[in-house]
Structure 1
Amino acid sequence: MRRYARTLVAVALATTVVAGSAGWVSGDAQHALTGPPPGSAAWSADRVLGRELPDPAEATPAEVGRFFRGLTGAEQQKLASRHPLVVGNLDGVPVELRYRANALALKADHDPRYTHLRDDDRQILAFDPRGRGQVAEVFGDMRSARRVSVVVPGSDIDAGTFDRTNDVYGTPSGMAKSLYAETGPGSAVIAWAGYTTPVGVGMDAASGRLAEAGAGRLTRFADGLAADSLPAPAVFCHSYGSVVCGLAAPRLRATDLVAVASPGMRAGTVDELHTDARVWAAKDASDWIDDVPNVEVAGLGHGTDPTDPEFGARPVATKDARGHTGYFAPGTDSLRSFAAIAEGVAR
């Protein structure tokens, strides 16, 4: 009975503190954004090319890729101009065309939340203005990169906080940019805020509901990279993002999975992730996530700490990291280790 009572207390505490960023005292329930890109109905009705276009809800990224490879450059540009939100968010479309489509979509969208995304030199790989907004951005040259990495963020991240100027290394843009700077030529890094994250501290952060939806979007995104003949990525999963990665693992095309500041991956061991990817884990003692109970009861909590030796992940040195968002800060052991993983030279 005492053990059961302690478990209930731990779950209650997990409900209170499991989140991707500190400083929040409550959480609001979020509705996961799923399904095809905005504008899909108009896309499906369009016969501008004299034939049906691939169904955004049903076509696989591989099927989308084959369709676009069969088009002329002029036909591709016509579709991007007519349906920028579909082309810019449809996994399997060539990355260069997605950049073009998303630039058009951002230019047409006058929401002040997205002003910072409209700079001409940004390579926006996804832009979905629905809800709180979702964004993906590329650092480096995807076409020439020998190695690709993806950064998956945790809670409180959306289009408005994608690259906020405070707490830079807690943002997907800041983490990805720092990792790219550490790896340099021959690599590309994607900041992927492509799922609905929890807001604040609450039931969303303690449950796997939003992570389940995010896992489906992440696996489709990685399949889209493969459909565009791009390398399978190393995936760096921060905080609640590691829950997304844990649930995606069995079907996620990846060379490596790196759980950073993780509350758990909804698995008891690496074997339970059912992945061929190498699995790594990083957590510093100064990180408040270290105080989160690693339990999973009745759908609450995210299970075993990935840095627990019994979990079986490869350890990442973190002695220079500070707090929950210090792992990608320049000069840290953790960033140097991440770069080695990204470049495929870590052992």
Structure 2
Amino acid sequence: MASRPRRSRLCRALLAALVVASVAVPVSGAVRPAGVPAPAPTVPGLLPAATPTALTERYAATRADIAAAAGVADGHGDGKRADALRVMADPARHFVSFDGRGGGRAVEVFGDLSRADRIAVLVPGAGMNVDNYWRLRDGAQALNRELGDRSAAVVWLGYETPATVSLAAVSSERADAAAPELRAFLGQLKSVKPAARTSLLCHSYGSVVCSRAAAGLEVADIVLYGSPGVGVDNVAEMHTWAAVWAGRGGNDWIADVPHVRLELPTVEVGFGADPVSEGFGAHTFDAGSGGHSDYLEPDSVPLKNIARIVDGRTPDAPHA
């Protein structure tokens, strides 16, 4: 019969494997983009004044940085990256910051930020980068249309997301590194739009980033959707005065992720408590019957409820 310490080690190893498999297997085949060279950005990271003139100038300058990165990607022989960047450099797009190095980082505005009195900041999860940025664009556009006038949706791809199939995707290291960057961006946004009602929308691994950044943030809401857990046991441990909301689609594979947090020799894996569980303490909302990537689908139940939260209205509750 195995000794108690040995059984404990075996159980911990099994649970760790389950966490990794639960996150990795449903999206196997996803890989990080190959390293593609890009010039350093010429536009400073700080947000300009939120006036039409200042924003127009910033969008044009950032567009030039994106076009320059597309040229370098072409020269490197990476047509996929170059094509993605040319789409991003369209004159109708509104990027306030961009850095094409590595997987790429970008912050894009949908709507008129100068007039917005409601702002949703979207924080994406694992596997997102410049090559598949169109996924973020589609969701942000749908949300901004749902919100209507005097609103803006801002995609914050401001960190190096972990590869979807990786140990990094089930540990908090990338989130710990990203949190100060997110806090800094939200602080800048508050300084240029002090009267706007701002909500933080956090998908999948992005919910871990939001949790790490949450303490003291001046935001009205933190919305966790498709979350594997956020690395704390309950809302109180997030140390936020924002209203914390959680929702999960009926066919989201993330529901099968074991809600454990394990200390391994070199890394902690797993994110603990389920944000939609009663014990976690978040307000829950009806997230429909969709899958892991369906929360911001046009006309969907979760999109409408997330928009209600951003508006300061009460969303529909989950069905019993």
**Is TM more than 0.5 here?**
yes
- Correspondence for 1:192: 156
Report the 3-state secondary structure (helix = DSSP H, G, I; strand = E; otherwise coil) of the residue aligned with 1:192.
Answer: strand
User: Matches of 1:118 and 1:227 in 2, distance apart?
Assistant: 27
Task: Tell me if 1:226 matches 2:190.
Answer: yes
For residues 126 and 159 of structure 1, the distance between their equivalents in structure 2, rounded to whole angstroms, comes to 13
Amino acid at match of 1:91: L
Structure 2 gaps, min length 5: 74-81, 316-320
Partners of 2:43 and 2:62 within 8 A in 1 = no
Confirm or deny that 1:86 pairs with 2:43.
Answer: yes
Of 275, 278, 300, which residue of structure 2 is paired with 1:309?
278
Tell which deviates more after alignment, 239-248 or 171-180: 171-180
Partner in structure 1 of residue 222 of structure 2? 257
Give 2:256's aligned residue. Answer: 291
Q: TM-score, normalised by structure 1?
A: 0.77
Change (3 A) 1:30 1:256: farther
Cα displacement (A) at 1:6: 3.8
Q: Is the 8 A contact 2:297 2:303 kept in 1?
A: yes
Cα distance in structure 2, aligned partners of 1:313 and 1:346: 14
Task: Return the alpha-carbon distance in structure 1 between the equivalents of residues 189 and 312 of structure 2.
Answer: 18
Q: How does 1:140-159 map to 2 (within 5 A)?
A: 140-159=111-130
Aligned partner (choices 11, 19, 39) of residue 16 of structure 2: 11
Shift of 1:327: 1.3
Higher RCO (Cα < 8 Å, 6 or more apart): 1
Please give the root-mean-square deviation of Cα atoms over the aligned residues, in Å.
Answer: 2.3
User: SS at 1:160's partner residue?
Assistant: helix
Return the alpha-carbon distance in structure 1 between the equivalents of residues 31 and 15 of structure 2: 18
Output the amino acid matched with 1:205: A
SS at structure 1 position matched to 2:177: helix
> Partners in 1 of 2:86 and 2:235 — Cα distance?
41
1:16 touches 1:202 (CA, 8 Å); kept in 2? no
Query: Matched residues in 2 for 1:244 and 1:101: separation?
Result: 28
What's the secondary structure of 1:86's corresponding residue?
A: coil
Q: CA deviation at 1:24?
A: 1.9
- Count matched residues: 286
How far apart are residue 213 of structure 1 and its match? 1.2
From the superposition, tell whether residues 344 and 210 of structure 1 become closer, same or farther in structure 2 (CA, over 3 Å).
Answer: same
Q: CA deviation at 1:137?
A: 1.1
Q: Secondary structure at the match of 1:190?
A: strand
CA–CA distance in structure 2, aligned partners of residues 339 and 26 of structure 1: 30
Structure 2 counterpart of 1:330, one-letter code: P
Structure 1, unmatched stretches of 5+, are 32-37, 40-83, 164-170
State the identity as a percent.
34
**Residue range with higher mean Cα deviation, 250-259 or 210-219:** 250-259
| SS of aligned partner of 1:148 | strand
| CA shift digits 1:184-243 (9 cap, x unpaired) | 101110111111111132211011111111111111110110121342520110000001
Residue of 25, 28, 45 corresponding to 1:24: 28
Match for residue 327 of structure 1 among 295, 300, 303: 295
**Match of 2:214, SS?**
helix
Structure 1 counterpart SS, 2:154: strand
Cα deviation for residue 3 of structure 1 reads: 6.8
Q: Contact 1:30–1:204 (CA<8 Å) still a contact in 2?
A: no
How far apart are the structure 1 equivalents of 2:188 and 2:219? 12
Counterpart pick for 1:124 among 85, 95, 106? 95
User: Is residue 213 of structure 2 the alignment partner of residue 270 of structure 1?
Assistant: no
Structure-1 separation of matches of 2:86 and 2:175: 28
User: Equivalent residue of 1:236, what SS?
Assistant: strand
Name which of 185, 206, 216 aligns with 1:241.
206
Query: How far 1:29 moved relative to its partner?
Result: 12
Residue 296 of structure 1 and its aligned partner are, at CA, apart by 0.8
Which of 58, 62, 72 aligns to 1:98? It is 58
Amino acid at match of 2:124: P
Write the mapping of 1:33-112 to structure 2, written as runs, cut at 5 A.
Answer: 85-87=42-44, 90-94=45-49, 96=55, 97-109=57-69, 110=71, 111=73, 112=82
Q: Deviations over 1:7-37 (max 9, x none)?
A: 4322221123336x94225877999xxxxxx
Which amino acid in 1 is paired with 2:286?
Answer: A
The worse-fitting range, judged by mean Cα deviation, of 93-102 and 330-339 is 93-102
Where does residue 79 of structure 2 map in the other structure?
Answer: none
Structure 2 counterpart of 1:176, one-letter code: A
Which among 136, 157, 170 is matched to residue 172 of structure 1? 136
Q: CA deviation at 1:252?
A: 2.9
Bigger Cα displacement from structure 2, 332-341 vs 268-277: 332-341
Q: Distance in 1 between matches of 2:179 and 2:161?
A: 12
Q: 1:199 is paired with a residue of what secondary structure?
A: coil
Could you tell me how far 1:106 is from its partner in structure 2?
2.0
Partners of 1:9 and 1:130 lie apart in 2 by 37
Query: Do the aligned partners of residues 196 and 244 (structure 1) sit closer, same or farther apart at CA in structure 2, a change above 3 Å counting?
Result: same
